[in-house]
Structure 1
Amino acid sequence: MQWNNWTINYDFILLGIFDHSPLHTFFFSLTLGIFFVALMGNSTMVLLIYLDAQLHTPMYILLSQLSLMDLMLICTTVPQMAFNFLSGNKSISMAGCGIQIFFYVSLLGAECFLLALMAYDRYVAICHPLRYPILMSHKICGLMAASSWILGSLDGIIEVAAALSFSYCGAREIPHFFCEVPALLTLSCSDTLTYEKMIFFCCVIMLIFPVVIIIASYTRVILAVIRMASAESRNKAFATCSSHLAVVGMYYGAAMFIYMRPSSGRSPNQDKMVSAFYTILTPLLNPLIYSLRNREVTRAFMKVLGVDKAGARVI
């Protein structure tokens, strides 16, 4: 047998989302700008909540975890995409692909559970304010946040182990800008039907179950807010909840679009656009939504800058 006629390549090729045309170069530069703004925004949220003692409450602790997850999520995809675009080398090793899948899926799942826990926190705060210190103590809040990370990591381990157990053939070109599981499965030489059913089942647990918790929590919250006698209390409650609901709508809508559609109805371009939305734009929008509509975060930011409410610098 002539071994020199055989080539063994365990790398994948990420086709990416941009080419080197002037228009795509502009969009690539815009994406890098969004990346750095999201990086600064989420880092600022984490640091503000850590440094300001008045923000050491369950709601803000969970919010700091959301910002940390967004920070890690955008760092999982954009740097690799930027490296491939700038270097012209679009390959990624199987190990690198597995690491990317693990962090991406883990963070996706962790955020699903965390958003549900944040809805539960608002339910307890509004519907059971007197029992809030007991039902949402710092210990319970810490356990809830840790459970989100653990459950998300378990989902990541299961999916990456199953995805990389398949044999891949052909050009090994992934029609995406990162190793996303549905895009990777299109290259498999094996029968992936059972695995696709497993992904759908995992999505039911990781997406539908938290959505049920969110809907149940906010149904009770809305009923409680309607019964409030004070208009100021109603406005404050709606302001807090609307920020969370805006994030939930963006995040779950995009995730369900990607992972809960049949493979026969998939379009690579649509998947790339929607994936770009919730892996790049959502981490940018989350800190903006919570900071611009939250007086406590604004106060903490001004305090760190050394500026009082009147705009004078504190010496």
Structure 2
Amino acid sequence: MTHEALRLMAVHAHPDDESSKGAATSARYAAEGNRVLVVTCTGGERGDILNPKLEGDPEILRDMPGYRRREMATAAEALGIEHVWLGFVDSGLPEGDPLPPLPEGCFALEPLEVPVGALVRQIRDFRPHVMTCYDENGGYPHPDHIMAHKVAVAAYEAAADPDAYPEAGEPWAVQKLYYDISFSVARIETVHRALQERGVSSPFEEWFETRRNRPRREATARVECADYFPQRDAALRAHATQIDPDGFFFQVPRDIEKEVWPFEEFELARARVEVADGVEDDLFAGVVPAGLPVSGVASGVDGPADGRVER
């Protein structure tokens, strides 16, 4: 379904997250004439070089922040989306037992009201009808992903409150907030088994065995977007320091993927408009293009099961 100039904001923790989670949906909506803005909370400064072809590259090692900014610009162009940096510093992924403390000044240690205020400003400036973010576990338990969830949910509420962050612009009521669950166990399981049935080697063998018992989320929206897998893949390749072009992301034959899993999935977390029963096929379903009045806007209840529509 094509819309006229509706607006979607996707909140992500690091550059490259926007290309591995919900990317084809973003590309589809942008191609249909909607505005899509990716907000990246951190610069990804502490990301490791995961592409073996670039290990030890002196230019990258000299300026990782600048390199990742250039990668992000190329990815945004591939997806046809707009992009803004929220301006916080990557926390890194702590490893070890016990885990080391997070570095001082990083995103995950910021007082919550600081990044929330920054995101509220972006919401009130862009005025999205719909937002997407991670679930309460961050999609996976990276400290920046968990923080991005907290910030996005709090900003969804605060942006509509005239008394919250009055310096951040005129209030705006986002109408729907979804958790992006497109990188799910169900997706991996389906693709993995389809490859096995066709006698094709699956890159997810080890992944599936170690993660098959992870909690499964309930998808309340499935957006058909297989025609935009090429844009997603181009965006992923743009993040050359983070994505191995010979890695598992690109080892699934796209014709098989399009056949068995031609969509991306989302879980409705909060809504200020009526939502139809069943699984939606459009994140913009039911939104009011002109926006909602902020007076009398109610607070939402986290979770899709019993309180997903705010009255």
TM-score, normalisation: structure 2? 0.25
Structure with the higher fraction of residues in strand conformation: 2
- The higher-RCO structure (CA 8 Å, 6+ apart) is 1
Structure with the higher fraction of residues in helix conformation: 1
Between Structure 1 and Structure 2, whose CA radius of gyration is higher? 1
TM-score, normalisation: structure 1? 0.25
